[in-house]
A and B are shown apart, each in its own frame.
Chain A
Amino acid sequence: MIATPPIRAVPSPPVIELVDLHKVYRVGVELVHALQGITLTIQENEYVAIMGPSGSGKSTLMNILGCLDVPTGGDYRLRGQDVSRLSQSKLALIRGRQIGFVFQSFELLPRTTALKNVELPMTYSGVRHRRRRALEALKRVNLLDRAHHHPNQLSGGQKQRVALARALAQQPDIILADEPTGNLDSATGEEIMAVFDSLHAEGQTLIIVTHEDHIARRCRRIIRLIDGRIVLDTARGDVWSPTTPTLTAAPAGAPVPSSTEGTP
């Protein structure tokens, strides 16, 4: 375990606290170490980009953060609550109430209006005034006029905005977006990022997985994964530049040296 010295006074528990998180997949007889000891703290209203080459474990990390999956080792505390060993149905409740997920491929229900899609998480968590809250969320992503359209009547960017409205309608503790602009052209991607920016300005905590530097640059903190390890975290004072072929600073398997830890 890595002892993290208290750096500044934290009024409330961090939104996310990962300690030495591991995830091992078993494929036949082979073991795939997708995450190899992730230690990470994310505070309220942080705006984080997670980068890294394909297969580096970004989606695996997001799935665990989103309580879609459980780690095989280590601890995950979401707003101070240990969620790494909860039952399936408890995890489902947390997904419904505390997490807003945005996917690369939108994942809207076909044959269902935008409004109903936005209401969906609330039907499972049993929130009241679903319709009103869904309409408010659609208003925030500027799609109020498309509330009664079906997904096949919407453009890619509009679909992703509906998905965003669905994620934020319940005011989750955190919004997780796994390559939200991956299926969109750059102009539409900018459009989506503008919404993320404004959510950040309103105090929302956001984590976005992305390949694109210009997207990452909009975020306040960049974390880079390679082979299931954090090799760069601008919150530690690491300097990130899109041109420097980022760090093989720590060789795979070795613990991250504590000297690199600190605050910017």
Chain B
Amino acid sequence: MRKLGRWLWAGVLFLPHLIGSVVRSVPTALVQIWANKIRALLTVLGIIIAVTSIITVVSLVEGFGNYVTNFLRGLGTNMMIVYPEWVRGPRGEFLRRAEMDIDDIHAVDAGAPAIRRTSPLVWSSATIEYGRQQVTNVQLRGTNEAFQPIRNFYVDAGRFFGAVDVENGSAVCVLGREILRKLECDESIVGDYVHLDGQRFQVIGLLESKGSFMGENQDETIIIPWTMAVKLNPYARTHLAFYVEAMSEPQIPDAEGQLVRILRQRHGIKPGEANDFGAFKQDQILQQFNQVRVIATSVLAGIVSISLLVGGIGIMNVMLVSVTERTREIGLRKSVGARRRDILTQFLTEAVVLSTVGGAIGIALGYGFTHLASLHPDMVEVTVPLWSVLLALGFSAAVGIFFGIIPAFKAAIIHPIDALRHE
């Protein structure tokens, strides 16, 4: 114990000397590297690859992560989608049904204290015609006036349909911005009429622009009252889905529990039997994304560890060569007063500077690649996080220390006389 204390104390006393010695060695190291530019570059190739991969992959994953998070915030943070679903397995095959109607939705709305509001959802697609223009296979969503606050998705021209339109099943629609673009018309379409699957609808409003998410363009959507949607698609009347907004984010599990209890009771599902509906929560998107993240991270870890190993061995090799080449220099340094630790720090510093220079090149390349990627029009916004830069620098320095220690030690223990006699 006492011995350990003495050692630690010796280490602390040694620290200023060490720092001074390292600082003094850096210019020498840079001169050495500059004198052997090509060799140095080839040596640190592995480290360059490792660091470039770290920076690029981390930045892209982070970029997509931010994008997903923002998207989820855009969806409305407390939102769930509940939909009818056949029971899995033999019983489902036997029942061959899973129903949900407006009474179920009303019951959930009225009976679940953790739920702020609900909104029916009819999910289909349609062809829209306007004048001579036509767009096929557009997302058609039937819902009610609560859609806007639940989805956090508002009209910014004209108006959204109200409770009366829903009550009456009016032939009115709200269009996304992408549809406008494809129909080659401007905001003057509001008030005008379009045809959806041949049926006449009045355009009463235009949705704000939201961009696309995972290949699905949210702006290429037409929204109509759900009462109208079930007229177009009668099967949906007994197979409604619906949005649920919980009172608050922490209350989402409560809200889910309450709606499950209400729906199971209404659908007469016995204990032990599976639900005949499903609930899609935002954290499922996050989970999916996290799977992608895990895969990307493991691939990254693989590339990084292999190339760091290769880079490290390269550094060890080149440092061993350098020690042999500079034996006389080592002898001279020792003969004018360098101690073993001075030589050790000098060569260790050289290895670390070499690997860190590789790291710096890798960081520059990483910045370059992320910038290049962000030039693509469909690319999400990416920035290089500071922590990935620090991590990469840390890794490169660690490789320098780890693989530089043996050559540095070899240099340190050379006897000055043998070194000065070296040819």
Contacts and interface: CB of A to CB of B under 8 A. Distances in A.
Contacts of B338: 92, 96, 124
Contacts of A121: 336-337
A109 interface: yes
Nearest to B20: A126
B342 A101 contact: no
Interface of B: 24, 31, 35, 328-329, 331-342, 416-417, 420
Interface stretch (A62-70, A134-142, A210-218, A224-232): A62-70
Given A68-B417, A69-B417, A120 B336 contact: yes
B417 A166 contact: no
Interface string A82-101: 00000011001101110001
B335 A120 contact: no
A125 interface: yes
What secondary structure prevails in chain B residues at the interface with A?
helix
Given A107-B328, A107-B420, A109-B329, A89 B340 contact: yes
Given A93-B339, A95-B336, A111 B35 contact: yes
Contacts of A89: 339-341
B416 A124 contact: no
A72 interface: no
A125 B337 contact: yes
Nearest to A64: B417
Contacts of B35: 111
B6 to A, nearest CB: 17
A233 to B, nearest CB: 25
A43 interface: no
A218 B284 CA distance: 94
Contacts of B328: 107
B188 to A, nearest CB: 75
6 contacts: A88-B339, A89-B339, A109-B332, A111-B31, A124-B333, A125-B337
A66 B337 contact: no
A96 B336 contact: yes
B26 to A, nearest CB: 13
Interface of A: 63, 66, 68-69, 88-89, 92-93, 95-97, 101, 103, 107, 109, 111-112, 120-121, 123-125, 166
Contacts of B341: 89
Given A92-B334, A96-B337, 6 more contacts: A89-B339, A95-B334, A97-B337, A103-B420, A107-B332, A109-B329
A67 B379 CA distance: 68
A92 B337 CA distance: 5
Contacts of A66: 335
Nearest to B337: A96
B31 A101 contact: no
Looking at B24, B331, B339, B340, the one whose CB has the most chain A CB atoms below 10 A away is B339
Given A103-B420, A107-B420, A123-B24, A166 B339 contact: no
A115 to B, nearest CB: 13
Contacts of A68: 334-335, 416-417, 420
Contacts of A88: 339-340
A9 B40 CA distance: 62
A109 B341 CA distance: 19
A166 B336 contact: yes
Nearest to B341: A89
B411 to A, nearest CB: 14
A21 B339 CA distance: 25
Contacts of B339: 88-89, 92-93, 124
A141 to B, nearest CB: 16
Contacts of A92: 334, 337-340, 342
Nearest to A93: B337
A95 B329 CA distance: 16
A19 B285 CA distance: 87
Contacts of B334: 68, 92, 95
B37 to A, nearest CB: 13
A63 B337 contact: no
A69 B331 CA distance: 12
Contacts of A96: 336-338
B332 to A, nearest CB: 4
B420 A124 contact: no
A89 B333 CA distance: 13
B337 A95 contact: yes
Looking at A89, A92, A111, A120, the one whose CB has the most chain B CB atoms below 10 A away is A92
Contacts of A95: 334-337
A170 to B, nearest CB: 9
Contacts of B342: 92, 124
Q: Which 8 pairs from chain A and chain B are nearest by CB?
A: A96-B337, A124-B337, A121-B336, A92-B339, A107-B332, A89-B339, A68-B416, A95-B337
Contacts of A109: 329, 332
A107 B417 CA distance: 13
A69 B418 CA distance: 10
Nearest to A123: B24
Contacts of A166: 336
